[in-house]
Structure 1
């Protein structure tokens, strides 16, 4: 397909795998997408009538494998997709500089919120700020050494030099940790997704995942804004779901308040992780890959006199 189309993808699957027909010769067997794509596909499925829902879910179930990458997959999205299609999305981790390096298994436990374990031949370490190897569950920068690792950035020797550790590991710029089972967890870009709030290092991705569990939240983005007392404060930008927007119009009130948002999250997040600033928007600005540019958003919000 020339570009991502929610309607086109559901239609393609239904044509390839008709519920009461014969499988098409050109029926695809593998689908991979970014989290935003799956969110849009879920929203479209919810808007279908009962017959079309059943036909669409059946068609999606026939694929051999569905994967997700590019950015962190919120657990609620993973669970919704599995409920609809029966597919537990396979999350994995890679970059242009080394292709794929870490993945949940094709056969075996696919742990929600993780990107799995290193491929054979791939070495991974988490380096803390003092450049030491970390122990389990310590947060630091994810560094990769792999047979598929690139040699250098073209005509950028200084950038190349700064991108590698002394022992040849590539510095990914992603913050991560590893759980007791050896599954790696990506906490976000060190430059955009790790917030320093009152002496604590917080993962924006972790907070986003919890906020997305609120029934009135369709999408959200969490980032740190400058604060003279705490260094940064936790700010949430929320896109309310259709029902919340309808109530907003009918009752002439905000679709969701900061108090409502935090009340649903306080049982899973420590008090210092809860947002203290909330913006309710109609949509989140995203690039062609479905990612929100948090650096740019932070600049825009930080320069706003209302902050």
Structure 2
């Protein structure tokens, strides 16, 4: 059975976001799922324009729902900014006609979410899930979607945050634990790993650090072993610092991680991918695209002193896997060996 709605799927089908949210659920609901051979910024914008021509008609095979990972939205924004004004108008108008746009697989930086809303009018729907329990927490389809958060537990799901010692009383930041009707039973032939992954009450330890904001929305701070840095006694979220750095006009992409430091335990290191046009102009002036001093001066107005990067690396690109994620754990290891 095929319904009137169509879904454009671009994420890998081996991940919960791609397999369950973008493929199986729409098929179960009777939707048409459209695949592209590979991710194409030009192809996606063109597909939306074909779906909603400027004469206000809607194509019979119009795409109505789109889902992607944060890196895709970053690339789509860059592609949009490179268009001439007339094509921008047609593209933005077409994108606004879609019923829903979602983002998953990794945390969506708030500046990217805000830029996308400014262009398309869509407040991206963010959720939180894992292979072990599929989806557990979500911003609402109808209601307030709060940037920088993944929303509230879905019906039937219980969530709590525990400290390193296992306590869960008055914990501001800790490991997120989930109990859900869809929670898996065990890891295949790995009884010890299974045992270590659960706490009393049947809650699964996700390995993600989180906190709950003033509105009760859950904020994912990153993987406890890769995104949480211990700097001079402070526990810092790399994802929160990345979101701020992305507001800098020179920074197109960035990755923040902690590197070994003899005085502070770890030092905040920022790997920056500069905006190509700004980089070109600075090179003509025989200057680097961005210096640590310039970044520090700018960041003083936006970050606490202990969160400001003390090391800066300028790269051409970030190493990403098929899901668009940077393997910070491996990257930290490689860079630590060079320190």
Short-chain TM bin: over 0.9
Within-5 A mapping of 1:229-268 = 229-268=263-302
Q: Distance in 1 between matches of 2:233 and 2:199?
A: 27
Q: Distance in 1 between matches of 2:265 and 2:162?
A: 23
Quote the offset at 1:135 in angstroms.
2.8
Q: Distance in 1 between matches of 2:284 and 2:205?
A: 51
Quote the offset at 1:97 in angstroms.
0.7
Q: Distance in 2 between matches of 1:16 and 1:30?
A: 11
Within-5 A mapping of 1:142-291 = 142-291=176-325
Quote the offset at 1:2 in angstroms.
2.2
Q: Distance in 2 between matches of 1:72 and 1:262?
A: 24
Q: Distance in 2 between matches of 1:90 and 1:47?
A: 25
- The answer (yes or no) to whether the contact 1:134–1:140 under 8 Å persists in 2 is no
Q: Distance in 2 between matches of 1:72 and 1:148?
A: 22
Q: Distance in 1 between matches of 2:304 and 2:124?
A: 28
C-alpha change, 1:134 and 1:29, in structure 2 (3 Å) is farther
Q: Aligned to 1:264, what secondary structure does the other structure show? A: helix
Quote the offset at 1:21 in angstroms.
5.1
Q: Distance in 1 between matches of 2:56 and 2:208?
A: 46
Q: Distance in 2 between matches of 1:272 and 1:82?
A: 31
Q: Deviations over 1:25-67 (max 9, x none)?
A: 1111111111100000000000001111111111110111111
1:27 paired to 2:27: no
CA RMSD of aligned residues (A): 1.0
1:130 paired to 2:168: no
- Structure 1: runs of 5 or more not aligned: none
**What's 1:71 paired with?**
106
Quote the offset at 1:248 in angstroms.
2.5
Which one of the candidate residues 96, 110, 119 is aligned to 2:131?
96
- Structure 2: runs of 5 or more not aligned: 1-35
Q: Distance in 2 between matches of 1:96 and 1:32?
A: 18
Quote the offset at 1:229 in angstroms.
1.2
Stretch deviating more after TM superposition (17-26 or 4-13): 17-26
Quote the offset at 1:266 in angstroms.
1.4
**What's 1:41 paired with?**
76
Q: Distance in 2 between matches of 1:283 and 1:238?
A: 8
- The answer (yes or no) to whether the contact 1:262–1:274 under 8 Å persists in 2 is yes
Q: Aligned to 2:135, what secondary structure does the other structure show? A: strand
Q: Distance in 1 between matches of 2:284 and 2:318?
A: 23
Q: Distance in 1 between matches of 2:126 and 2:40?
A: 22
Q: Aligned to 1:207, what secondary structure does the other structure show? A: helix
Quote the offset at 1:134 in angstroms.
3.9
Q: Deviations over 1:173-219 (max 9, x none)?
A: 00000012110000000000000011110000011011111011000
Q: Distance in 1 between matches of 2:138 and 2:331?
A: 30
1:5 paired to 2:50: no
- The answer (yes or no) to whether the contact 1:125–1:134 under 8 Å persists in 2 is no
- The answer (yes or no) to whether the contact 1:92–1:104 under 8 Å persists in 2 is yes
